[in-house]
Structure 1
Amino acid sequence: MMKKMSISTSKTSLVLFLCQIISALDVPLDSKLLEELSQPPTITQQSPKDYIVDPRENIVIQCEAKGKPPPSFSWTRNGTHFDIDKDAQVTMKPNSGTLVINIMNGGKAEAYEGVYQCTARNERGAAISNNIVIRPSRSPLWTKEKLEPNHVREGDSLVLHCRPPVGLPPPIIFWMDNAFQRLPQSERVSQGLNGDLYFSNVQPEDTREDYICYARFNHTQTIQQKQPISVKVFSTKPVTERQPVLLTPTGSTSTKVELRGNVLLLECIAAGLPTPVIRWIKEGGELPANRTFFENFKKTLKIIDVSEADSGNYKCIARNALGSVHHVISVTVKAAPYWITAPRNLVLSPGEDGTLICRANGNPKPSISWLANGVPIAIAPEDPSRKVDGDTIIFSHVQERSSAVYQCNASNEYGYLLANAFVNVLAEPPRILTPANKLYQVIADSPALLDCAYFGSPKPEIEWFKGVKGSILRGNEYVFHDNGTLEIPVAQKNNAGTYTCVARNELGKIQNEVQLEIKDPTMIIKQPEYKVIQRYGQVSFECIIKHDSTLLPTVTWLKDNDELPDDERFLVGKDNLTIMNVTDKDDGTYTCIVNTTLDSVSASAVLTVVAAPPTPAIIYARPNPPFDLELTGQLERSIDLSWIPGDENNSPITSFVIEFEDALHEPGVWRYQTEVPGSQTTAQLKLSPYVNYSFRVIAVNRIGRSQPSEPSEQYLTKSASPDENPANVQGIGSEPDNLVITWEPLKGFQSNGPGLQYKVSWRQKDVDDEWTSVIVANVSKYIVSGTPTFVPYEVKVQALNDLGYAPEPSEVIGHSGEDLPMVAPGNVQVHVINSTLAKVHWDPVPLKSVRGHLQGYKIYYWKVQSLSRRSRRHIEKKILTFRGNKTFGMLPGLEPYSSYKLNVRVVNGKGEGPASPDKVFKTPEGVPSSPSFLKITNPTLDSLTLEWGSPTHPNGVLTSYTLKFQPINNTHELGPLVEIRIPANESSLILKNLNYSTRYKFYFNAQTSVGSGSQITEEAVTIMDEAGILRPAVGAGKVQPLYPRIRNVTTAAAETYANISWEYEGPDHANFYVEYGVAGSKEDWKKEIVNGSRSFFVLKGLTPGTAYKVRVGAEGLSGFRSSEDVFETGPAMASRQVDIATQGWFIGLMCAVALLILILLIVCFIRRNKGGKYPVKEKEDAHADPEIQPMKEDDGTFGEYSDAEDHKPLKKGSRTPSDRTVKKEDSDDSLVDYGEGVNGQFNEDGSFIGQYSGKKEKEPAEGNESSEAPSPVNAMNSFV
């Protein structure tokens, strides 16, 4: 027979147990994917371990499992195979392992008692259920007995025994009479845990002949009854009183063992007259506040969810007027096994490593054993990839045949646990689970999350591209999540388009496209405004919105954050809310909420309803102060105050606030007395003794509070004894041997008379019967010396004066001073979870040793040394505090591949206890930080030298470096990526066979056995020719170009500013300047200094439509400047990145176009002089196109080709309004439209095809084309 076993019952499906996988592979919860993947069996439903069945009904033993392929089922009974085919009474449900034993057709339940276990098996392994113990319930009859009447004397105790028959499970006991009415119970008469009925003392009314004990057996739904018991009480005069005696438990001490997590029930029932009162305490500790309950008139102490910390001595004290008796129950809490780390399912790729961990605790410590596919692992088929190390199984280089189900069994004398965990080795090509062409819509300037849910084994690598054939996405503007999701933190309009996700592993590659649309945000451009309206008037709130044209907004109005009243007076329009016939109930806050499918905005305004119409002649203000205050009806504890209200200033007075001054104790201090409605002008005020009162009144309306009235006359009340005692009484020790009793002293007007003092009383809780008292002056604390360390005290403080004492004060519980804890936590264990996180366990210290309020535990930990660098370092200790009585804590932020030490200390209000012995643990390797630097030196025509520094934090043993690089062309497009692996002991590399005069981008990172660290990037340029190389002399430093150069000066101009950028080659230089002026002007150049070593500068304050010249220079290099560049400002001009105005083919083309236009003009002029008609114009008029109508019909000009323009050069286009200005919205033929940028309309060959084909915008770039690529022409410069 194997050891007792169990597995935690779960009713979840395959979808749910896969979510617990914590390996290198996470299986997404996708139903289609889960149906296709091979899967070892998992038990999903089973009957409880201890299964008590009704002997009259069929027995159903559940066993359900999931797997791929579907598992087959078999059973054992009492350790041997159970062949259900040989028993006609037993059947198994189809596609299930659940057994049905037919009892209702002749079977006997007793014949099927035993221990059953289910096995679910497929080609990838076998899972087993708990040992399920089947027992039929039993409800035997009561044995017949002759019961003699109970004759008892009044005042004596009595026990009526129930002694129910032994059933399975045990019955529920209750007492009733022959009319089936429950017998009343009280502090005097109650039922014990064993079912007996106890009388602490009997009274004459207890005489009756129908005390009947009933036993209810729940499983069989039957009730058995004992024969009635007769009780006769005879009286004796006088009745003798008796001090308490315990009826149960007997003796002075007893013991009880309870299991962790169960309910602890302790009982004390006492006899005595008068009826004793029961009280419970825990020696040396407190009863747990949130888990302790008192039942059965405090005779039963109930503590739920007990733990080892609840072990100890519990004392019950029974007390009446004649004395007391107590009993001590020594409680020991043991523990059946419970999980610390249950094994989790493991999904691996062929060749990967993994571990199964099974850790349990209990009292006593449970033993751990492993099974493989239901067979003890010692006799299971060998697997070379498997190694068992105590509570851990280590897998190395697994293969598909390594798939299996492993069982961990943790058991001790109080029970067992059994958990199934499978190892599933999968080799799967990548799959993308996100639907193809899924559309994402987001609001501009908000995050966009594009999903690419995937699965594969080995785990695929994910890459994203913009467009179908675009370059791979990189850079700070994107965030790439481990689950494949691409995040654009701040999505802009230019982020819209098609995105392609590619997943690849060694078994294949797959891609998917999604669409992203960016919508304009919804805005309220005219918000509702604050309104003041008179009653019965009409008011409107406006809410005018602007939204994306593709989104459908809905507008909702709220009043005071709730729906509008269901009232026809409220009219909701398209962009307004109108309230007709306004009433006082309409006063409040109105909110306009605009919702679309993507966003929501709101705006609010307040409506104030007033009685009079708001006209300029009426001023609403705070009321004037009341006057003529008068005191009447003077009594010892009350007085009447009356006043005349001041002017309300057009806003009704809503209330009056009355304040008082005590000239005897606090002169000049005004305190709140009461508040009365605005309709009252008198108030009866309650008074305190021994106060010299003055009163004043403040009026309140909607606008605010008035100034206070003039004070009333003074009134001195007579003295009396105090009415109240000090508040906030506390007892807290400041030293281990004292108790500091503090309180809040009464204020002067609370003293009620002269000679205010305090009576301070204290006694040790549950030890002293008598109070110790002392009378002190009007102070706020008293110190009791010579107390034991940290024991509870009952404390009270009573006020008194020359006329007497205040009422008896209530008691509070305090504690004498704390001392430092005496004991360090024991059994400190460290579980390293990963390279930066560890979990620490410890045993709690005994509460007696804490000697104070347990505040928690502190873990001191420090790094001893890095395992990759043996040098010693300054030790910086770190501290983590864990509040409460915790027994574990997490240590985050550890450094990988390092040796650490730690200890644990308990903390109370006084401080820290001694430290536990130092525990040493080591963290595994992690990925390294980026290399400390990357320098690129010695550029030649075809080579560059790279030098680097090792990572500041290697976090392990470096295995290699990876260098990736790719060329960058003049349009900032990236070329093919080259990757090189470099040994870890190298610190430099010469790259040869590079292209001359080419810029390269380098990506460099380091690796450990765990993986790659973060990378460092750098850019460098190979030189154009050997003339730019300075030959080094002997001992010279690094090689620099012979002369510096500033190249590729480019401009991007707008109406009033221009962005100037350039490329600099040469020695390090940080002082550049930009010179500019109007093109063709003889004025001096204007100079602007560039801050730092930037390679760009923005010129501001330029004149629109003006041509400028610009050049770039370097300070300190005489005569060193770039060549000049010319640009022109203008509306929506694109940057002048490529100037082809000097290209021969372009000049020829433009000359031909100009010649054709000139010939056309001459022909038109001749025909006009001959009075002829221009046939094209007739066709244009017939089509009535407003774009080509004549500009001046009265002077006979032909629209665009007027006489006034024949002798002038064309400017920016062939159509010009009479004022000689060009506006983009007025002229579609303006060559501004054909320049660079998103509005350019030239085709690739410079023709005007785009204009006449109706195309206004460029086609989106495809492939590796950059969105910043310059237009092939600059039309403006070609026509200047």
Structure 2
Amino acid sequence: MSTIFIVLCLPANLTLYGHARTACFACYLSFDEDRNSHKSLTDHPVSINNKGENVEEVWYFIGESVNGVSLLWRSDANVLGLKNGEAKFMCIFAGKATPDIVWKRKGGKMNSRMEVSEHGQELIIKDLEFADKGEYECSATNDVTSTPVVATFTLQVEARPYFVKEPLDVTIGVEENTEFFCMVEGIPASDVNWFINGQPINEAPPNPRRTIQKDRLVFKNVTDGDSQVIQCKASNKHGSLMADVYLNVLALKALVTEGPGKVKVAEGNSVTLKCEHNGKPDPALKWMKNNVQPLNTDRYEFTHNTVLIKDVLKKDNGKYTCISSNRFGSDNKTGELIVRKKTKVTLRPVERSLAYGEGAIFNCLATSDPSEQQFLEKLWYKNGERINNNDDDGNIQILENGDTLSIVKTSSKDSANYSCVADNKVDSDTGISQLKVKAPPDPPRDLTIKTCGNLKVTLFWRPGFDNYLPISNYVIYSKTNYDNAYKKMNELLGDVNEYEQRLSAFANYTFKIKARNQLGESVFSNITPICSTKAAIPEQHPTNVRIIENKTRKLVIEWDPVEPIDQNGPGFMYVIITQDKAGNKSSYQVTDWKTTRKEIDVGNIYKEYKVQVKAVNSKGEAAIPPLIYRGHSGMGVPTVVPGNFEVDPDAPYTHETIGLRWDTVDMSAEAMQGKFDGYKIRYWHMDQPDKEEKEEEATVESKIRRTVRLPPNSDLQLDVVARNTYFDSNGSNKINITTPEGVPGPVQSLESMYRSGHFVKIKWEKPKEENGEIIGYDIEYEEIKGLFTSSVIGLGVDKKSIPVQSEPEWVAERNRYELGVPGLELNTNYRIKVWAKTRTGRGEIEFVDVKTAPENMPTVPYILDALPAKTSINVSWQINKGDVAGYHYFVEYRKYGEHKFESGPLEKRNTWSVINNLTSGSSYEVKVVAESGNFKARSEIKLVTTAKTDEVASAVYNAEWFIIMMVVLALLILILFIVCLVKRSRGDKYHVQEKEKLRGLENDEKKTAQYNGFNDNGETQPLAGSPR
């Protein structure tokens, strides 16, 4: 092992392990026989003279004295390696800055077995091959040395002996021949020696039947005494190699172990009959058909144990016998060949081309030999792989006993070759078809980063399969270490497969892409490796800088954030520079990039400032000078108040408007504590003083007049204030007014309940803003011409509006109005309009668009329930929205068994009706009739039985609520009885209390004549006349 002693003395500006400049440290760099390096560095100062034994060289590094590249040490120039082993080369360079080391192979390329160490000093070639022989060099450069410093190495590759063809065990019969191979290579060339039963062949007993021929040992006409162990040994200077094999000589009678058996074959096919047999010497084999006809024409091909019959014919049916024989005897076995008609696919699946999502069907019919028809089955394959029924979660189905293959909903993965195989276990036939599914393309393949550097990246990819429609576009997506998800970066035409993009500094990028054709986009491609960019100064300063003047005595600055991707480096911050009118500057730092607001205490109100906001990171600030923004410190409450606020007697005073006037204020910045922004009239309802409503106007006139809209029919209190952009002054003097009654707002929840051919029923609720006393409603309807739509815009409305004379009905339990609109035409569009009215006039219009039924026949009613009582039945029914309703409804009923139905009262509003004056305990048939003009629709008949008198009582007595009530009442009586007993017992012992009770009764008589179960003391009074 050789060792190098390296000494490092520290420069003035560096400490190591806490030691100063005068300290020196030792590094031992040693190499073993295999050129493996071993390094150690002391962590304390050492004496340069005490470098130890076996040290061949001493290198000194003093401070910053090394600048250019120099070769400090290299391993041997000539290297010998063995095949399948390793070769190592090492170069150690010195220099400042750190040298860049490159390894090359002269006249050839480096491959994956050639690895460079982490710091580049060592090249290792693994699994050496003869082709690795040649020259290799290491070269180094840095910023000072531009011409490479080079060291060259020469590699020679040799090999231990190895077999090209090694000997194998052999078993043969007497009088047969054989040979053993021992073909060996190696560098240098190997010496080969043979051994017999452990002895060198030249020392073994002589054998005239054994000869050595170059790299072979040959035996001829062997006897049973020639069985022996044979060894082959090869060696060179790098090692040796040996193989042991056995020669086994036998004498065995011929024996057939397995005959041809029973074999079926279809016409036109080929068939192989087997006959397994053995014996030593190897027996000869011949074949006979039907024991009389030897097989010896060109239609037959023989091997040592088979016969191949080509293009089988029907006449090939018959018995086949194989006969095996050698010098020691013979043996035979017989089999049968059965020839069937050929299986044929008569209806083959046809090629299909369709769009994804559509269904595909393939049909297949076949015939077979009648004797094998029962075994015939049809199997389906996709690109050679068997399809099972209900594959792909039932999307692929095999139907009709295999005659049909159905793909319910195709996708791109279904594009394939589909084959139908008709198979009866004897032969088969195949029908093949291709399915082309037009679909969004497959994703691009092998997306890689071609170049990454100088704030640019170049991407490269291979197109995926287009699924039979041209790729029109590629969509590029990117993600950085600052993003939570991928973002769309760009979109390219479909005829490119390379893309260059400029990147932001100080970020780690990955990319993926999609392909698109006219049917949609592919899934994403693979994701690229990371492309990293170096730090740089920010591209620009923050934008949208604004000075907010809403905080008194503060200078408030806001700006849009600089996102991490735009910060371009570590240590990012905002620097805010302010300058007042006197020229005084201040600077502030904000280190959190998410903070985009700075409030500065300035102690003044509405003073002018200049502001700059800079973007700065560890590399510096953005190169473009920041813009200067002008604004003011925060405004305050105005110090002036409008005067002489009053009603303007010259302006009209109606339920909609009123005129007001007041004296103007001083609009200077000093008086307004900011920028004058007008006046605001405030008003309150006298009964809601905390609810403020506003009306605003800005003006500069000296005498102010203003007409405003106020809520009608209201008692109001008003004042006026002056305002700047953010603050109001104190209020002026207040005035009280009462506004006249106005017109109401629109009715609420107007909609159609149901309709018939000539009739529509509508409902609505009162207006939210009544603005006075509602005295009624106006309802009109008009026919809609042209396109029927719920939108007001674009409707062709008939100019003739027809008033509805009927009065709406107030339905208190539903808190709404309902009205039937009669006299309409079949299958016609109408607009029904509703106004609420006060004494002042109509309010705002509300309308609903409806369409009458195409025929006047109402929908058959549905009976919800029929509840019987002793002499009545309450029948209820249901009208669904969208049903064709009757103009009115009524119940028809009859006693069970009678012929004629009676009619109950007409119902226009209710969906229930009570039939009275019935016989108790009787069964009745009831049905609901919807009537509209001459049309009637009747429900199904429902059978209901009225209650008997005792049944009603029994129903009451047996009801759960009645039983519970009785139990509770009994418990109350029992408790009252116990209380009375306790009171009586207490009265026997305390007679004074009895007198107090008497006085209490006198007081009670003065209060009320109504019975009260408790007196003022909370005690129960005895009943009149009861003993005390």
Alignment TM class, shorter chain as reference: 0.3 to 0.5
Question: Normalized against structure 1, the TM-score is what?
Answer: 0.29
**Structure with max Cα Rg:** 2
Question: Normalized against structure 2, the TM-score is what?
Answer: 0.35
Higher strand content, 1 or 2: 2
